[in-house]
Amino acid sequence: MAFDIGLVTLVLGVAAWTIGARETFAAVVGFVAYGLLLALVWVRLAAPDVAMTEAALGSGLTGGLLLGASTRLARTDGPAAIEKPSAIMRLAAAVLCTLVSAGLAALVLLMLEPAPTLAPRAMANIAATGLSNPVTAVLMAYRAIDTLLETVVLLLALVGVWSLARDRVWGGLPGPYHRADPHGLLTFTAQILVPIGILIGIYIFWVGSVAPGGEFQGATVLAAMWIIASMAGLVDAPPVTRRWLRLALIAGPALFFAIGLAGFAIAGGFLAYPESHAKLLILMIEVPVTLSIATTLALLVAGPPERAPAR
Amino acid sequence: MPGSATAGGFLLVLAIVLPVAGAMLSLVLGGRYAERIALTVMPTGVVVAVAIGAIVWRTHNVLQYFVGKWDPPLGVAFRADGLSATMIVTAALLICGIGLFARAQFSLPRCVEERAPLVFWILLLTVWGALNAVFIGCDLFNLYVALELLTFAAVPLVSLDGRAETLTAALRYLLFALFGSILYLLGAVLLYGAYGTLDMVLLSGRIRAEPAAWAAISLMTSGLLAKAALYPLHLWLPPAHAGAPSPASAVLSGLVVKAPFFLVVRLWFDVMPRLPEHAVAQVLGGLGAAAIIFGSLVALRQVRLKLLIAYSTVAQIGYLFLMFPLAVKPETGHPWSTAAWTGGVLQAISHAFAKAAMFMVAGLIAEALGHDRIAGLAGVSRVLPITVFAFALGGLSLMGLPPSGGFVAKAMLLTAAVAAGQWWWAVVVLTGGLLAGGYVFLVLVRALADASEPLNLLSTISPGRQAVVAVLALAAVLLGFVPLRPFELLQIGRPDIAIGGLR
Amino acid sequence: MSSALDVLTILSVSTGAFFFLAGTVGLLRFPDALSRLHALTKADNLGLGLVVLGLLFQAEGFPVALKLVGVWLLALLAGATVTQLIAHIARMRGSTM
Amino acid sequence: MTEGTLYGLCSAVLVGLGLFGLIMHPEPLRKILAFNLVGGGVFLLFGVVARKGAAAGLGGDPVPQALVITGLVVAFAATALAVALLARLFQETGRATLQADE
């Protein structure tokens, strides 16, 4: 309990720093720390799957994205040039937000203990899914439709990001150019780290059916490895019009849809799996989904096409 | 068991899968095929939508589907009642009209892929799939994902031309939408914590008047209001809807803002029918009234036609929320058998058709003249007579003059207000109608005037596109011939039937 | 036997924690970027190493021990790279950050 | 007080803090940051609900845990889109604010 109190104090302190810091860059650094601390909190809440996602995606990839943005936008007008809301507005907002916090806190204290839960149901049916990690069972079987729609959400976010390209660079390479320095330290690190990271990513994905892990966590690690390699200039993103790239992007959701629709024929319903083959079918979905999510995440961080295609 | 999946439930799956699969196929095959794919998906989607409507109408029962054969609370259900079916058919027809209209603007070059057309068709199809997911969604978290999909498809439509002002508008829109979705999600979390399910039907049986439920409904409603742009959370709407290319504006104003409104209706009347108090409903109605007056007044002062139409959307959204104070806990019968409830829903549908048509009119005029300044419209009725006529037809709905869907909707709200003794809403409806008349005539008077010098047309507008606009505007007029009372289709599957055999 | 291992763990992890503390104080108190980095990395690498060492005494089986050492090595690699990059930027800007 | 309740109170404060930043910060990037902070708080509350629903031999209810994973991915997508919009706006105008020059 003493550990928990310390952790909560730290989380709140870092969160306040993130909101209050004068420099945007400092605030982003605070946010990354906030994410890592939250990952610890998730471990304390007996949710290791979420802890991994929080650390990899919520803190790591989001943090990287925001860090990149804050340095890119660093040359903008200082905070002084921006109209600050008046003191009365700030006071009103502070009162409102305090009320929200107080209300939520009261609700937390009123919360039923034990809370209503679906854990027994999830466990009672888990044999039919062929999985033994209940979180993966929820993601891939009980609520597979959410996961399917979510892969589409990611894809659409990427289409949205790409839509922000300038017309003349459409068909070009995403993101800024990173010069390769064959003797640079980053190159050295990338050469060592990336193969290990890819291995870890695949392991995390693979172990997801029986232990904490899964396609989102694995895909995030894979995406991060690609980002490191591209920062070191070892790889570059392909032009956004490449057919194989587009195929890699939709392979996951498309196969998810296809197997879902096949469920009409083989299991009597959309996204239903016949019990004997459930595990195999889920794996057949997960492999391309991991690939597609990893590609999408990496390209979301890279940003819209910025460099005209080489002729 | 009445709560099982129904025959024909697979149609609900198709309503989501078809457009989304079309969007993914467009992405793979590239810009040259995007338009063709969209135009193939559209008639198929209309068939699915009409089939859903027909089954709900004929069987007089809800269409229900449990995804993966997992029934709630563990699984996710899709469910189409009369209201959903109506919205699905509306969306299908409107998307088709908009697609046909957009062909000229986003037609494809034969050799290389271009950004704007590719993105437009993918986003249009995805908006459609996401709307269907919202209309049939029965699980609060599934609906959260659907709402986010809708947002991510709608926001880039605003900034398709990449100008600084539309980028600003898109960013502001996104920030408002994210603010809304986080509040919505917070509410959903509280409901799960209290009742152990996110399924709307199960929730409606379990929910009680207690702090957690109260907090959840307030948070979710506030979040959805930010997404629906109800005054005073409307700031993002006019620049976004006016800045988008006109087919996109038509989708955004006609359909996208109706999705969060639809969910507020679901929450208030299906999930927690016994919860809302008159006082809270009065607040919602008050915001609606403020939107009507404020939006109309600002619309009157606009210089540009598209901004005028966008501010008119702010006002017309206000009418939707007048149904809450008038339909919550009526003295006799159910909320959904009141004239106000039907009037509100009808307002959503007729405004969708009318406003889509009017945004397209503005687009055609801007294409022909090279600008959309209201002061420079003189003589345009000579060159684009059908287009200006379509604007006038759409205007009937906004003003609430017969014959039009808007007239029936507003007449029902009016009678409901008088019958409930809440005369102040009647005053608002009438004032809003007068102000709408003001800004519609402001445009028509200019457009019908003779030009002092011959108009210099930048491009000729094909009769086909004018016809599409006219048909949509005519649809808004034809809605005026529905009977002036709560009608049956919208009643199908309301909770009084469903709760009767609660699973 | 196990109590002897426990003592070793406690000793090692506490020493590691002390190094983290020292590193953090250095990060906050030292005057310029380079010496701050110096304090940070020295303490971190050693601190983490000692914590990992302490946990090794508790590891159940070889795979777990391997993972722990792997964590330490990866942290070393990442730490060294990031420090180098920050130092590079600091030298280019010639500032004290 | 259980640790679940403690983290629940923590999430309540986080939501309030983040909302304040989301409403009050004039810079869009800070708003995006605040949105992620609120998101963290909301997800945390869901995790507390899951923890309090520990049953059937599990440390927590797996359904909310899975939903949080989905939610984290959606939040990342939102952040990426918002950042890309902001970066493009900056390219066009040299500003990273929401002020319109009307």
Alpha-carbon span A86 to A102, nearest angstrom: 24
> Does any CB of chain A come closer than 8 Å to the CB of residue B463?
no
Q: What is the pLDDT of residues B371-383, one digit of tens each?
A: 899 998 988 888 8
Are residues B326 and B416 in contact, defined by beta-carbon separation less than 8 angstroms? yes
Residues A282 and A136 both lie in one domain: yes
Cβ atoms of A120 and D56 closer than 8 Å: yes
Number of structural domains chain A divides into: 3
Instruction: Provide the ipTM.
Output: 0.93
Q: Which residue of A has its CA nearest to B112?
A: A171
Are C and D close enough to touch, i.e. 3+ CB pairs under 8 angstroms? Answer: no
Predicted local distance difference test score (pLDDT) of residue B486: 64
Q: pLDDT tier at B503 (50, 70, 90 boundaries)?
A: very low
Are A97 and A72 within one domain? no
Within 10 angstroms of residue A43's Cβ, the number of other Cβ atoms is 17
**pLDDT at residue B2 in the model:** 41
Give Cα A56 distance to the centre of its chain: 7
Specify whether A3 is located in the same domain as A43. yes
A16 and A71 inside one domain:
yes
The pLDDT assigned to A123 comes to: 92
**Which of A53-67, B313-327, B489-503, D6-20 shows the lowest mean pLDDT across its residues?**
B489-503
| Residue ranges of chain A whose CB lies within 8 Å of a chain C CB | 185-186, 188-189, 192-193, 196
Q: Are B234 and B291 in contact (CB under 8 A)?
A: yes
The 8-class DSSP code of residue B199 comes to B
> What are the extents of the domains in chain B?
10-500
Angle (deg, nearest 10), helices B339-369 and B82-102: 10
In which residue ranges of chain A is pLDDT below 50? Answer: 80
Q: Is residue A147 less than 8 Å (CB to CB) from chain D?
A: yes
| pLDDT band at B497; cut points 50, 70, 90 | very low
Minimal C-alpha gap between B501 and chain D (Å): 27
Nearest chain A CA: its distance from D41 CA (Å): 9
B179 in contact with A, Cβ within 8 Å? no
pLDDT tens sequence across B90-109: 999 999 999 999 988 888 76
Residue C89 has pLDDT above 80, yes or no: no
CA angle C59, C62, C65 (to 5 degrees): 50
| CA–CA gap between residue B137 and residue B130 (Å, rounded) | 10
Q: Is A186–C85 a contact, with Cβ atoms under 8 angstroms apart?
A: yes
Listed residue (B179, B252, B192) closest to B222, CA to CA: B179
- Band of residue C27 on the pLDDT scale cut at 50, 70, 90: confident
- B-proximal residues of A, 183-212, CB under 8 Å: none
**Cβ contact, residue pair B145, A263, below 8 Å:** no
Residue B30 DSSP SS3: coil
- Using the Cα atoms of residue B80, residue B82, residue B86 and residue B87 in order, give the sign of their dihedral: negative
Q: A47 lies in which domain range? A: 1-82
Q: In B, which residues are within 8 Å of D32 by CB distance? A: 175
Q: Do A219 and A130 belong to one domain?
A: yes
Q: Is the pLDDT of residue B501 over 50?
A: no
Angstrom distance (rounded) from CA A139 to CA A146: 8
pLDDT band per the 50, 70, 90 thresholds, residue B296: very high
Query: What is residue A81's predicted lDDT score, i.e. its pLDDT?
Result: 53
C26 vs C38: CA distance, rounded Å: 9
State the amino acid at position B317 in one-letter form.
I
Per-domain boundaries in chain C: 2-93
Q: Does D3-93 carry CATH code 1.10.287.3510?
A: yes
Q: What is the model's pTM?
A: 0.94
* Inter-chain CB proximity D20 and A94 less than 8 Å: yes
Count of other CB atoms within 10 angstroms of residue A3: 10
Q: Where are the domains of chain D?
A: 3-93
Q: What is the rounded distance in angstroms from the CA atom of residue B74 to the CA atom of residue A144?
A: 11
Other Cβ atoms closer than 10 A to A257? 22
Interface contact A57, partner D, CB < 8 A: yes
Place of tokens 């839509």: A163
Query: What integer pLDDT is reported at residue B5 of this predicted model?
Result: 67
Chain C nearest C-alpha distance from A185 (Å)? 6
Residue of A29, A189, A194, A234 to mutate when probing chain C, most C C-beta within 10 A? A189
Let me know whether A304 and A241 are in one domain. yes
